Chains A and B, each alone.
Chain A
Protein backbone atom coordinates (compact mmCIF):
# COMPACT_ATOMS: atom_id res chain seq x y z
CA UNK A 1 0.00 0.00 0.00
CA UNK A 2 1.25 3.48 -0.84
CA UNK A 3 0.95 6.42 1.51
CA UNK A 4 1.20 9.94 0.10
CA UNK A 5 2.42 12.50 2.61
CA UNK A 6 1.72 16.08 1.63
CA UNK A 7 4.47 18.58 2.35
CA UNK A 8 3.31 22.18 2.60
CA UNK A 9 5.73 25.04 3.23
CA UNK A 10 5.91 24.88 7.01
CA UNK A 11 5.00 21.22 7.45
CA UNK A 12 7.28 19.69 10.07
CA UNK A 13 5.84 16.26 10.83
CA UNK A 14 6.06 14.93 7.30
CA UNK A 15 9.31 13.09 8.12
CA UNK A 16 7.77 11.61 11.26
CA UNK A 17 4.84 10.32 9.23
CA UNK A 18 7.20 8.97 6.60
CA UNK A 19 9.21 7.11 9.25
CA UNK A 20 6.07 5.66 10.82
CA UNK A 21 4.83 4.36 7.47
CA UNK A 22 8.12 3.02 6.13
CA UNK A 23 10.09 1.92 9.19
CA UNK A 24 7.31 0.84 11.52
CA UNK A 25 4.58 -0.23 9.12
CA UNK A 26 6.95 -1.40 6.40
CA UNK A 27 4.87 0.15 3.66
CA UNK A 28 5.70 2.45 0.78
CA UNK A 29 5.49 6.22 1.30
CA UNK A 30 6.11 9.19 -0.90
CA UNK A 31 6.20 12.93 -0.28
CA UNK A 32 3.72 14.96 -2.27
CA UNK A 33 4.76 18.58 -2.76
CA UNK A 34 1.93 21.01 -2.20
CA UNK A 35 2.28 22.42 -5.71
CA UNK A 36 1.89 19.01 -7.33
CA UNK A 37 -1.33 18.04 -9.07
CA UNK A 38 -0.81 14.31 -8.79
CA UNK A 39 -1.20 11.94 -5.84
CA UNK A 40 1.23 9.54 -7.58
CA UNK A 41 -1.04 6.59 -7.11
CA UNK A 42 -1.21 6.95 -3.32
CA UNK A 43 -3.86 4.83 -1.60
CA UNK A 44 -3.81 6.80 1.63
CA UNK A 45 -3.14 10.53 2.03
CA UNK A 46 -1.59 11.96 5.16
CA UNK A 47 -1.88 15.69 5.87
CA UNK A 48 0.92 16.05 8.41
CA UNK A 49 1.44 18.37 11.33
CA UNK A 50 3.33 21.62 11.27
CA UNK A 51 2.66 25.26 10.59
CA UNK A 52 1.75 25.39 6.93
CA UNK A 53 2.11 28.91 5.57
CA UNK A 54 3.10 30.07 9.03
CA UNK A 55 -0.50 29.68 10.22
CA UNK A 56 -1.11 33.02 8.45
CA UNK A 57 -4.71 34.21 8.65
CA UNK A 58 -5.82 31.02 10.46
CA UNK A 59 -4.14 27.64 10.88
CA UNK A 60 -4.74 25.70 7.68
CA UNK A 61 -6.56 28.52 5.91
CA UNK A 62 -4.02 29.05 3.14
CA UNK A 63 -2.83 25.44 2.79
CA UNK A 64 -6.35 24.55 1.86
CA UNK A 65 -5.83 26.35 -1.45
CA UNK A 66 -2.60 24.56 -2.36
CA UNK A 67 -2.91 22.87 -5.77
CA UNK A 68 -2.54 19.37 -4.27
CA UNK A 69 -5.60 19.92 -2.08
CA UNK A 70 -7.85 19.73 -5.12
CA UNK A 71 -6.61 16.18 -5.71
CA UNK A 72 -6.85 15.36 -2.01
CA UNK A 73 -10.46 16.54 -1.94
CA UNK A 74 -11.28 14.43 -5.01
CA UNK A 75 -9.58 11.42 -3.39
CA UNK A 76 -11.64 11.97 -0.22
CA UNK A 77 -14.84 12.39 -2.18
CA UNK A 78 -14.18 9.07 -3.91
CA UNK A 79 -13.91 7.39 -0.50
CA UNK A 80 -10.12 7.37 -0.32
CA UNK A 81 -8.60 7.46 3.17
CA UNK A 82 -7.24 10.81 4.38
CA UNK A 83 -5.51 11.15 7.73
CA UNK A 84 -5.17 14.72 9.00
CA UNK A 85 -2.86 15.05 11.97
CA UNK A 86 -2.67 18.30 13.97
CA UNK A 87 -2.14 20.96 11.29
CA UNK A 88 -3.54 18.37 8.89
CA UNK A 89 -6.72 18.29 10.98
CA UNK A 90 -6.88 22.09 10.82
CA UNK A 91 -6.41 21.98 7.05
CA UNK A 92 -9.09 19.28 6.66
CA UNK A 93 -11.56 21.44 8.59
CA UNK A 94 -10.72 24.56 6.59
CA UNK A 95 -11.10 22.56 3.39
CA UNK A 96 -14.53 21.36 4.45
CA UNK A 97 -13.47 17.70 4.53
CA UNK A 98 -14.45 17.70 8.21
CA UNK A 99 -16.95 19.88 10.08
CA UNK A 100 -16.04 22.43 12.73
CA UNK A 101 -12.83 24.34 13.33
CA UNK A 102 -9.76 24.43 15.55
CA UNK A 103 -9.32 27.59 17.58
CA UNK A 104 -6.67 29.03 19.89
CA UNK A 105 -6.16 26.89 23.01
CA UNK A 106 -8.37 28.19 25.79
CA UNK A 107 -5.37 28.85 28.06
CA UNK A 108 -3.58 30.64 25.19
CA UNK A 109 -0.42 28.60 25.63
CA UNK A 110 1.21 26.27 23.19
CA UNK A 111 0.85 22.80 24.65
CA UNK A 112 3.52 20.16 24.08
CA UNK A 113 2.81 17.14 26.21
CA UNK A 114 1.82 13.52 26.26
CA UNK A 115 -1.92 13.20 26.78
CA UNK A 116 -4.41 10.37 27.16
CA UNK A 117 -7.08 9.81 24.59
CA UNK A 118 -9.87 7.27 24.72
CA UNK A 119 -11.05 5.30 21.71
CA UNK A 120 -14.71 6.24 21.32
CA UNK A 121 -15.33 4.28 18.15
CA UNK A 122 -13.29 1.24 17.15
CA UNK A 123 -15.38 0.52 14.09
CA UNK A 124 -13.56 2.86 11.73
CA UNK A 125 -10.88 2.25 9.14
CA UNK A 126 -8.44 4.07 11.41
CA UNK A 127 -9.21 2.41 14.75
CA UNK A 128 -10.34 -1.15 14.03
CA UNK A 129 -7.35 -2.69 15.84
CA UNK A 130 -8.11 -0.83 19.07
CA UNK A 131 -10.79 -1.66 21.61
CA UNK A 132 -13.55 0.79 22.34
CA UNK A 133 -12.80 2.51 25.64
CA UNK A 134 -9.09 1.79 25.36
CA UNK A 135 -6.88 4.64 26.57
CA UNK A 136 -3.85 5.63 24.51
CA UNK A 137 -0.89 7.78 25.44
CA UNK A 138 -0.07 10.07 22.55
CA UNK A 139 1.71 13.42 22.39
CA UNK A 140 0.09 16.69 21.39
CA UNK A 141 1.94 19.83 20.28
CA UNK A 142 -0.24 22.72 19.21
CA UNK A 143 -1.38 26.26 19.90
CA UNK A 144 -4.68 26.04 18.05
CA UNK A 145 -6.27 22.76 19.05
CA UNK A 146 -9.57 23.74 20.61
CA UNK A 147 -12.19 21.92 18.60
CA UNK A 148 -15.43 23.86 18.13
CA UNK A 149 -18.55 23.25 16.07
CA UNK A 150 -22.14 24.47 16.18
CA UNK A 151 -24.31 22.57 18.72
CA UNK A 152 -26.28 20.74 16.04
CA UNK A 153 -23.08 19.55 14.39
CA UNK A 154 -21.76 18.30 17.74
CA UNK A 155 -24.95 16.39 18.31
CA UNK A 156 -24.75 14.87 14.86
CA UNK A 157 -21.13 13.82 15.41
CA UNK A 158 -22.05 12.18 18.71
CA UNK A 159 -25.15 10.47 17.35
CA UNK A 160 -23.28 9.03 14.39
CA UNK A 161 -20.30 7.84 16.42
CA UNK A 162 -18.03 10.24 14.61
CA UNK A 163 -16.20 11.44 17.70
CA UNK A 164 -13.37 8.92 17.51
CA UNK A 165 -10.96 10.20 20.17
CA UNK A 166 -11.58 12.09 23.40
CA UNK A 167 -9.15 13.48 25.96
CA UNK A 168 -9.53 11.67 29.27
CA UNK A 169 -7.73 11.29 32.58
CA UNK A 170 -5.93 8.17 33.80
CA UNK A 171 -9.23 6.65 34.88
CA UNK A 172 -10.82 7.26 31.52
CA UNK A 173 -12.95 10.12 32.79
CA UNK A 174 -13.75 13.13 30.64
CA UNK A 175 -12.51 16.00 32.77
CA UNK A 176 -11.57 19.61 32.12
CA UNK A 177 -8.14 18.88 33.59
CA UNK A 178 -7.52 16.15 31.01
CA UNK A 179 -8.49 18.50 28.20
CA UNK A 180 -5.26 20.12 26.95
CA UNK A 181 -6.83 22.87 24.88
CA UNK A 182 -10.45 23.44 25.91
CA UNK A 183 -11.97 21.43 23.07
CA UNK A 184 -15.73 21.10 23.22
CA UNK A 185 -16.71 17.79 24.83
CA UNK A 186 -13.00 16.90 25.11
CA UNK A 187 -12.99 16.04 21.41
CA UNK A 188 -9.53 15.06 20.17
CA UNK A 189 -10.44 13.55 16.81
CA UNK A 190 -13.40 13.14 14.49
CA UNK A 191 -14.23 11.26 11.32
CA UNK A 192 -16.09 12.33 8.20
CA UNK A 193 -19.60 11.29 7.36
CA UNK A 194 -18.24 8.76 4.88
CA UNK A 195 -15.81 7.41 7.48
CA UNK A 196 -12.76 7.92 5.28
CA UNK A 197 -11.37 11.22 6.56
CA UNK A 198 -9.98 11.27 10.10
CA UNK A 199 -8.72 14.42 11.78
CA UNK A 200 -7.03 14.44 15.16
CA UNK A 201 -4.85 16.83 17.13
CA UNK A 202 -2.67 14.18 18.86
CA UNK A 203 0.29 12.80 16.92
CA UNK A 204 0.04 9.01 16.46
CA UNK A 205 3.12 9.10 14.21
CA UNK A 206 5.14 10.33 17.18
CA UNK A 207 3.94 7.42 19.29
CA UNK A 208 5.21 4.55 17.20
CA UNK A 209 8.17 3.24 19.17
CA UNK A 210 9.07 2.59 22.81
CA UNK A 211 12.05 4.86 22.12
CA UNK A 212 9.58 7.73 21.69
CA UNK A 213 7.83 6.92 24.94
CA UNK A 214 4.78 5.24 23.48
CA UNK A 215 3.85 2.79 20.74
CA UNK A 216 0.15 3.41 21.07
CA UNK A 217 -0.07 5.11 17.69
CA UNK A 218 1.13 2.10 15.69
CA UNK A 219 -2.23 0.38 15.51
CA UNK A 220 -3.81 3.44 13.92
CA UNK A 221 -1.58 2.91 10.89
CA UNK A 222 -2.02 -0.87 11.06
CA UNK A 223 -5.79 -0.38 11.17
CA UNK A 224 -5.68 1.52 7.87
CA UNK A 225 -3.60 -1.27 6.41
CA UNK A 226 -5.97 -3.94 7.67
CA UNK A 227 -9.07 -2.20 6.40
CA UNK A 228 -7.85 -0.81 3.11
CA UNK A 229 -5.99 -3.95 2.11
CA UNK A 230 -9.03 -6.08 2.95
Chain B
Protein backbone atom coordinates (compact mmCIF):
# COMPACT_ATOMS: atom_id res chain seq x y z
CA UNK B 1 0.00 0.00 0.00
CA UNK B 2 1.07 3.54 -0.68
CA UNK B 3 -0.29 6.96 0.20
CA UNK B 4 -2.06 8.98 -2.46
CA UNK B 5 -3.64 12.35 -2.66
CA UNK B 6 -6.55 12.94 -5.02
CA UNK B 7 -8.33 16.21 -5.71
CA UNK B 8 -12.02 16.20 -6.58
CA UNK B 9 -13.89 19.05 -8.27
CA UNK B 10 -17.62 19.11 -7.69
CA UNK B 11 -19.74 21.57 -9.66
CA UNK B 12 -23.46 22.22 -10.04
CA UNK B 13 -24.95 20.07 -12.80
CA UNK B 14 -24.92 21.99 -16.08
CA UNK B 15 -28.30 23.46 -16.90
CA UNK B 16 -29.44 23.63 -13.29
CA UNK B 17 -29.95 27.06 -11.77
CA UNK B 18 -26.76 28.08 -9.96
CA UNK B 19 -27.72 31.10 -7.87
CA UNK B 20 -24.34 31.28 -6.15
CA UNK B 21 -22.50 31.29 -9.45
CA UNK B 22 -24.86 33.92 -10.83
CA UNK B 23 -24.38 36.15 -7.78
CA UNK B 24 -20.60 35.98 -8.17
CA UNK B 25 -20.88 36.62 -11.92
CA UNK B 26 -23.02 39.70 -11.27
CA UNK B 27 -20.56 40.97 -8.68
CA UNK B 28 -17.72 40.56 -11.18
CA UNK B 29 -19.74 42.54 -13.72
CA UNK B 30 -20.20 45.26 -11.12
CA UNK B 31 -16.44 45.34 -10.61
CA UNK B 32 -15.98 45.95 -14.32
CA UNK B 33 -15.20 42.41 -15.46
CA UNK B 34 -17.91 42.73 -18.06
CA UNK B 35 -16.48 40.02 -20.30
CA UNK B 36 -17.40 37.34 -17.75
CA UNK B 37 -20.06 35.09 -19.23
CA UNK B 38 -20.56 32.62 -16.47
CA UNK B 39 -19.35 31.56 -13.01
CA UNK B 40 -20.02 28.23 -11.35
CA UNK B 41 -19.39 27.75 -7.67
CA UNK B 42 -18.67 24.24 -6.47
CA UNK B 43 -16.50 22.39 -3.98
CA UNK B 44 -12.90 21.25 -4.04
CA UNK B 45 -12.19 18.20 -1.93
CA UNK B 46 -8.82 16.60 -1.29
CA UNK B 47 -8.85 12.96 -0.31
CA UNK B 48 -5.74 11.40 1.20
CA UNK B 49 -5.91 7.65 1.11
CA UNK B 50 -3.90 4.47 1.16
CA UNK B 51 -4.23 2.38 -1.97
CA UNK B 52 -2.47 -0.41 -3.82
CA UNK B 53 -1.69 1.89 -6.75
CA UNK B 54 -2.79 5.17 -8.32
CA UNK B 55 -5.50 3.66 -10.50
CA UNK B 56 -7.06 1.83 -7.58
CA UNK B 57 -7.02 5.07 -5.58
CA UNK B 58 -8.77 6.89 -8.42
CA UNK B 59 -11.40 4.17 -8.77
CA UNK B 60 -12.06 4.26 -5.06
CA UNK B 61 -12.46 8.03 -5.01
CA UNK B 62 -14.81 7.84 -7.99
CA UNK B 63 -16.95 5.46 -5.97
CA UNK B 64 -16.80 7.89 -3.00
CA UNK B 65 -18.06 10.66 -5.28
CA UNK B 66 -20.98 8.56 -6.47
CA UNK B 67 -21.92 7.53 -2.93
CA UNK B 68 -21.31 10.64 -0.86
CA UNK B 69 -19.07 13.45 -2.08
CA UNK B 70 -21.38 14.52 -4.92
CA UNK B 71 -25.14 14.38 -5.27
CA UNK B 72 -25.90 12.53 -8.50
CA UNK B 73 -29.13 14.52 -8.95
CA UNK B 74 -27.62 17.98 -8.84
CA UNK B 75 -23.86 17.81 -9.19
CA UNK B 76 -21.11 16.72 -11.57
CA UNK B 77 -17.68 15.67 -10.40
CA UNK B 78 -14.23 15.29 -11.89
CA UNK B 79 -11.29 13.73 -10.17
CA UNK B 80 -7.68 14.61 -10.80
CA UNK B 81 -4.97 11.99 -11.22
CA UNK B 82 -3.76 10.48 -7.99
CA UNK B 83 -0.40 11.79 -6.83
CA UNK B 84 1.84 10.18 -4.21
CA UNK B 85 1.25 11.87 -0.87
Contact = CB atoms under 8 A, between A and B. Distances in A.
A, B co-complexed: yes
Interface of A: 57-58, 61, 65, 93-94, 99-101, 103-108, 146, 148-150, 182
Given A57-B68, A57-B69, A61-B68, A106 B19 contact: yes
B36 to A, nearest CB: 18
Interface in B36-82: 43, 68-69, 71, 73-74
A104 B19 contact: yes
Given A57-B68, A106-B19, A108-B20, 10 more contacts: A58-B71, A94-B71, A99-B73, A100-B73, A101-B71, A101-B74, A108-B19, A108-B23, A146-B17, A149-B73
B71 A107 contact: no
B16 A148 contact: yes
A150 B20 contact: no
Contacts of B23: 108
Interface string B3-41: 000000000000011011001000000000000000000
Contacts of A108: 19-20, 23
B68 A105 contact: no
9 contacts: A57-B68, A57-B69, A61-B68, A99-B73, A100-B73, A106-B17, A108-B23, A148-B74, A150-B73
Nearest to B73: A101
Contacts of B74: 101, 103, 148
B73 A61 contact: no
Contacts of B71: 58, 61, 94, 101
B30 to A, nearest CB: 16
A108 B16 CA distance: 15
B15 to A, nearest CB: 10
A146 B23 CA distance: 16
Nearest to B69: A57
Contacts of A103: 16-17, 74
A99 B73 CA distance: 9
Given A57-B68, A61-B68, A105 B73 contact: no
Given A57-B68, A61-B68, A148 B19 contact: no
Nearest to B67: A65
B47 to A, nearest CB: 13
Given A57-B68, A61-B68, A149-B73, A105 B19 contact: yes
B68 A182 contact: no
B17 A182 contact: yes
